[in-house]
Amino acid sequence: MEERLAPGVAVARRRRVVGLGVLVAVLVAAGAASLAVGARALSPGEVWSGLSAAPDSDQRLTEIRLIVQTVRVPRTVLAIVAGVALGIGGALIQGCTRNPIADAGLLGVNSGASFAVVAAVSVFGFANPFQYVWFAFLGAAVAGVVVFGLASIGRGAGNPLTLALAGQGITVFLVAVTTAVALSDQKSLNALRFWNAGSVAGVGFDVIWPVTAFIAVGLVLALTTLPAINLLNLGDDVARGLGVNIALSRTVGIVAITLLAGAATAACGPIAFLGLMVAHVARYLTGPDYRWLVPYAGLLGAVVLLVCDVVGRVVTRPGELDAGVVVALLGAPFFAVLVWRGKFKSA
């Protein structure tokens, strides 16, 4: 039996490795397009000149250098980093909760970040997005901790349904409070409208590098949980019988999701449907093994966010449509098709 299974396993492994290579190639192509496409289209040669030009170049090269290095490189890097984080976060939350329609917003991450932005602007009078991005991360983290804490007490402690209900309850409460504060303060409402659109534009490396550090920690934690998540999806009783510490595994997983989704949301604003969408595509391509599903989801998240950002620059040129809006326009029909075709597979 093992001899007959071995060739099939080798073929599946080869197919998955090739798939990862294809996704990396697509990501590189999308990154190159992101550097070239915008209100002013640049040729590959101009992109290279913009990347390598010295500060004291002539006026034309200086202009190209500013466009490439100051505007397009940061947004490309942020789209990749945030896309990886949201894709992996979406796959992990579905695995930890065994809920095929879960995404990071289930933990109240988006609503917690939105409330923190509004509170920071209203209380402290912040006007610069770089001032309140850290409040957004703190709000996302606190919301995730509160939701997980509520789901860990009482008779339903550790139950995925309890986690979903706790997340929904906190989300509804925070949305109501955020709306009340924003409607009573014009500055808060303006900040919320700007941040809530979900965009990778206008964020510099002074924010991207610290956010990337948090995401890197989340990635390390996520990788340590993958074998346990595979067993958890066999059922709690089976996992417990195989020696999995269920409470510890879920706690580490939730911390990883909070770091990944919280940091990405703080930098970009809420990007709806991305984690949900790419997790299902990754599961279709790899099957239920989270050791493969999670890397696929991360790469798919980066590709989708980059492509949506590029599309947003093209469809309303010379203006731009925020990447979060394009992702939502893509994700909502995707979600509807999943429902229509009954394709929700158990995580």
Looking at 125-204, list the stretches that DSSP marks H as alpha helix, in order from N- to C-terminal side. Answer: 129-151, 160-184, 186-196
Sign, CA dihedral 234-344-324-185, equals negative
pLDDT for residue 342 is more than 80: no
CB count within 10 Å of CB 41 equals 11
pLDDT recorded at residue 258: 86
Residue 116: closest CA among 183, 191, 215, 206: 191
Q: What's the mean pLDDT when you consider all of the chain?
A: 84
pLDDT for residue 63 is more than 70: yes
Q: What is the pLDDT of residues 168-177, one digit of tens each?
A: 888 899 989 9
pTM of the entire predicted model: 0.88
Across 142-146, 184-188, 294-298, which has the greatest mean pLDDT? 294-298
Residue 272, token pair as written in the block? 């709806």
Contacts 24+ apart (CB under 8 A), 63-68: 67/38, 67/40, 67/42, 68/35, 68/42
Give the integer Cα–Cα distance in Å for 67 and 289.
42
Comparing 13-17, 35-39, 73-77, 103-107, which segment has the lowest mean pLDDT? 103-107
pLDDT for residue 236 is more than 90: no
What does the pLDDT average to over 310-337?
86
pLDDT recorded at residue 347: 47
Classify 78 as helix, strand or coil.
Answer: helix
Q: Mind listing the domains of the chain with CATH numbers?
A: 22-341 (1.10.3470.10)
Q: What is the pLDDT of residues 258-273, one digit of tens each?
A: 889 888 988 888 888 8
pLDDT for residue 6 is more than 70: no
Give the integer Cα–Cα distance in Å for 261 and 265.
6
pLDDT for residue 74 is more than 50: yes
- Which of the four pLDDT bands, split at 50, 70 and 90, describes residue 8? low
Please report, for residues 199, 209, 343, the alpha-carbon distance to residue 74 in angstroms, rounded to integers and kept in the order given.
Answer: 12, 10, 37
Bond from prior residue into 333 cis (ω within 30 degrees of 0): no
Percent of the chain with pLDDT over 70: 91
Q: What is the pLDDT of residues 111-159, one digit of tens each?
A: 888 888 888 888 887 766 677 788 888 888 888 888 877 877 766 555 6
- Which of the four pLDDT bands, split at 50, 70 and 90, describes residue 72? very high
Any idea what the Cα angle at residue 218 is, between residues 216 and 224, rounded to 5°? 110
pLDDT for residue 160 is more than 80: no
CA 188 and chain centroid, separation: 24
pLDDT for residue 248 is more than 80: yes
